[in-house]
A and B are shown apart, each in its own frame.
Chain A
Amino acid sequence: MTALDRLRRTQLALIAVVAGTSGLWGLAAALVTRAAADVVLGRFGAAGVVSVMVGAVVTAWMLWRGRAVWSIEQTALWVESRAPDLQYALVTAIDPRAAHAAQDLGRVIAGVDIGTLVYRAGAPVLGWAAIGALVGGVLVVVVPVARRPATLFRDARPSMAAADALSRVATIVARVFPPEYTRQSPREIREPSIITSIVGSTIDIVGRGASDGVRATVGSDSVIVVAEGSGWRARFTMPAHSRVLRLRDRRYERIVGLDPVPDNPPRVILDHPARDSTLRSLRGALVLGAQASDDIGLRDGYFELIISAGDEEGSFRSAERRIGTVNFGDASHGSMDTRIDLATLGLSAGGRLSIRAVARDDNTVSGPGVGVSETRTFRVAKAQDYDSLAVEGEPPPALDSTYLSQRMIVQRTRELRRAAPHLPRDSVTRRAAALGDQEEQLRERVQSLLNGPDEDAGGGPLLLPDWQRAFFDTAFQTLGDASGDLHAATLTTTLTAALAPELVALRVLDRVRVANRLYVRGGRPTIVVNTERVRLIGPEKPDAGPRTPEPSDDTTVLAAVARLESMARLADRSPSAAADSIAVLRAAVIGTWPAAATALGEAADAIRAHGDPRAALSRARRAITGPPSAVEGLSSWDGGGS
């Protein structure tokens, strides 16, 4: 081994000493800082971050201080300073210009035990650094314990740290075994505040110490606690609804929230056929298609047909069939399709074919969960289904009918006048009298329009405008004249005389009829402005007395917020009690406000880790009350002017 080789080995050893010393002093500094920060800043300070930063700085500074070991010349000088007998032989030996004297120098260097030099120098340094780190570690452990008695006295319930030494429920581990059909792996949760798992999971809570005296309840149900190894174990099944697990040991209690995850039934969508229909006859092939999905896994699926036949009471019959069964093999998604020959169903008029898709999941604990799609129905129409719709026409208005009646009488009078010379006298008289009777009936109808329905029938005079009343009066009069002339008619000349009042009556009735057909726009609304009220000088005076605001209807939100606020106050005084209360509240709100439950779980975890729960509690409150909304002030009322 040459002098240079020995020197390089020495350099590596010194580097290790410097690195080890730096790391240990850095660790010591970090631990001492953490202990100090725990005293000064308390649980809510950023003690961890500060201590790591201090440790890093000290380590870096120590490394910088020992940077000389990276130089081979400096290493040689370090050895020369501790072995004066070398008389700079080592420094000379690494100089290339002294290669010719290497053998002589090598003999001198071989006479010195450099390894012992390094050991004597490095061991104390490393030892002191290790002692420093040990002291720091002791401080970190001792200081928080020393601080807690004061808190213990304030707490009505035992603090977690104090319970560590006394309570058998202070340190627990939860082992969660999901049901086999979920194919999920078992998992372990240390110091759980919330246990989230699928419904039906087997959960073991294990703790230290004897099982005697340890009690556990899930909701109101007791859980058997048995001995297991050197500790105890409570086994139960994840309930279907949120519950609280209470673990008690003498006066100590621990609460764990149970957050069940339900296994939802499959979701099934029937793609084909897309809609219901009514057909004259069921013929041809019908394509069926559906998709199914499940949160864990699908077992199988099929199409279900319900065939109903018969079209009257007493003749109905129905049958159910399953077709197109598909095994999904635990897949989370799947599709199924098939087709049916409609003619084979034997449906006649009035029959119905109902189709739906069904899928089942693999739930062997509480299932299987069954999901069904919407039902589509095909109906075979009956003959009477195609009847047309009959609409009864409304009779013409009274005015129109009187006009038409009068025009008919005028036409018949004219016909009779033309035929009169060729007819026997008796026949003319009889037919004229019949027309006169019709005129009389028409006159009575006009009278009813004029005076309104008979008062005995609950009617009364109609409120006619003056101009209409004048027309009706004229019509009534002329109809009477015409009736009289017709009853007295025996010759063509008397028929001609009767036509005159008939035509007058026809014209008058036409005027009234047309006038009433005019579209009359709605009348102008009469709006009376209450100027006194507009000027606030009306008789109604406002009540200037004190007013009590109405309480909010949403008392659930208010109650939850009140509990949150009390927990935030409790977190400062009694963290362990606050953590338990938060777990209870979390179980209560998980169904209503899932986001709040998540935040509450984080708050409980933060308290148990001696962290700051306030941010998580704020998030929980936000999730319950909703985001704050900015309300702008009242808008100005400038009206475009000023």
Chain B
Amino acid sequence: MTQFVFATGQYESGDWDAAPLVPANLIDSVARYTSLDVAPVGAVVPLASDDVSEYPLIYLTGHLPFRLTDAERASVRRFIERGGMLFVDDHNHDVGGIFHTTAIEELTRTAGPFVDVPTTHRLYSCCFRFPDGPPTTSHELNGWGDNLVHPHLQAVMHGDAIQVLYSSKDYSSEWGYHPESKRFNSVDNTKFGVNIIVYALTR
């Protein structure tokens, strides 16, 4: 059994490194709540490289237009077909925003159509239980971005398995703080991130 390394995908267009604190924060949570052998530092992997196959889960985010080059698109297709999972989060939290529109179009073209992930999906119960579906973020509740509370995440599914998980909830902002600051939170809001990682490793 190899060590789990949290990987952030680097793509040519846009700002792929818009949430640099999220990987460390989720690594901290995985170490805190699970016994998974997790690497203390995340990795950055260019989507066009063959290294993507080294990682079971790749995290993508950004604010700017999301376009994949031909090489990136082919690499992502191979990654998904070989059992990898993409987690894409709209850092704008805006379904009318440029990242959402371009990312949905690009990923639909690359991986397939998106559907809503039902709240009964194992994603919401594989570690912590979230019976009401994805937890809301402060950005949703404060009315920023598109001023919507999104009840579901979207996903490109293969049967019951998630291949590409897409979030309009801006977890990149919600989880974008140094893990040392977690102790000041009365409620740890990164638990759902642990679910995503555990699900990606146990599908």
Contacts and interface: CB of A to CB of B under 8 A. Distances in A.
State whether these chains interact.
yes
Contact of B187 (A524, A526, A637): A637
B24 A637 contact: no
B132 to A, nearest CB: 9
Contacts of B23: 527
B179 A529 contact: yes
B111 interface: no
Contacts of B38: 531
Nearest to A638: B187
Given A530-B40, A534-B31, A525 B187 contact: no
Interface string A509-539: 0000000000001001111111100110000
Contact of B191 (A524, A535, A641): A641
A627 interface: no
A396 interface: no
Given A640-B130, A641-B129, A529 B28 contact: yes
A529 B187 CA distance: 20
Interface string A260-300: 00000000000000000000000000000000000000000
A52 B31 CA distance: 76
A384 interface: no
Given A639-B128, A640-B130, A640-B192, A527 B21 contact: yes
Contact of A524 (B20, B40, B129, B195): B20
A635 interface: yes
Contacts of A525: 20-21
A366 interface: no
B188 A637 contact: yes
Interface residues of A, number: 18
Contacts of A531: 27-28, 31, 38, 40
B71 interface: no
Interface in B39-61: 40-41, 44
Nearest to B132: A640
B32 A534 contact: yes
A639 B187 CA distance: 5
B17 A524 contact: yes
B188 to A, nearest CB: 4
A534 B128 CA distance: 18
Interface string A609-642: 0000000000000000000000000010111111
B178 interface: yes
A527 B26 CA distance: 12
Contacts of B40: 528-531
A533 to B, nearest CB: 9
Given A527-B178, A528-B41, A531-B38, A640 B27 contact: no
Given A526-B41, A529-B24, A640-B187, A535 B32 contact: yes
Nearest to A537: B31
B179 A639 contact: no
A609 to B, nearest CB: 53
Contacts of A635: 186
B135 interface: yes
Interface string B117-136: 00000000000111000010
Interface in A526-565: 526-531, 534-535
Nearest to B191: A639
Contacts, number: 61
Contact of B128 (A521, A535, A641): A641
Size range of the interface on B? 20 to 34
Contacts of B24: 527-529
Nearest to A536: B32
B159 to A, nearest CB: 25
B44 A524 contact: yes
Nearest to A642: B129
B189 interface: yes
A640 B138 CA distance: 13
Given A527-B178, A528-B40, A641 B17 contact: no
Contact of B41 (A521, A527, A534, A639): A527
Contacts of A529: 24, 27-28, 31, 40-41, 179
Interface in A464-497: none
A361 to B, nearest CB: 54
A215 B126 CA distance: 88
A223 B10 CA distance: 92
A635 B184 CA distance: 12
B12 to A, nearest CB: 16
Contact of A640 (B17, B20, B32, B135): B135
A642 B179 contact: no
A638 B33 CA distance: 12
Interface in B170-203: 178-179, 186-189, 191-192, 195
A640 B190 CA distance: 9
A640 B44 contact: no
A640 B40 CA distance: 25
A531 B24 CA distance: 10
Contacts of B135: 640-641
A524 B16 CA distance: 11
Nearest to B38: A531
B179 A527 contact: yes
A323 to B, nearest CB: 61
Nearest to A530: B40
Interface string A360-383: 000000000000000000000000
Contacts of A528: 24, 40-41
Contacts of B187: 637-640
Contacts of A535: 31-32
Nearest to B36: A531
Nearest to A634: B186
Contacts of B32: 534-535
Contacts of B195: 641
A639 B129 CA distance: 10
A530 B28 CA distance: 8
A265 B69 CA distance: 83
A528 B40 CA distance: 5
A114 to B, nearest CB: 93
Given A527-B179, A529-B40, A640 B191 contact: yes
Given A530-B40, A531-B38, A642 B21 contact: no
B99 to A, nearest CB: 17
A527 to B, nearest CB: 4
A642 B27 contact: no
Given A524-B20, A529-B41, A531-B40, A641 B31 contact: no
A615 B121 CA distance: 64
Given A529-B40, A529-B41, A531-B27, A640 B21 contact: no
Given A529-B40, A639-B188, A640-B189, 18 more contacts: A521-B17, A525-B20, A527-B21, A527-B24, A527-B41, A529-B27, A529-B179, A531-B38, A535-B32, A635-B186, A637-B188, A638-B187, A639-B189, A639-B191, A641-B128, A641-B129, A641-B130, A642-B128
List 3 A-B pairs, minimum CB-CB distance, nearest first. A641-B128, A527-B24, A531-B31
14 contacts: A526-B41, A527-B23, A527-B41, A527-B178, A528-B41, A530-B40, A531-B27, A531-B38, A534-B32, A535-B31, A535-B32, A638-B187, A639-B187, A639-B189
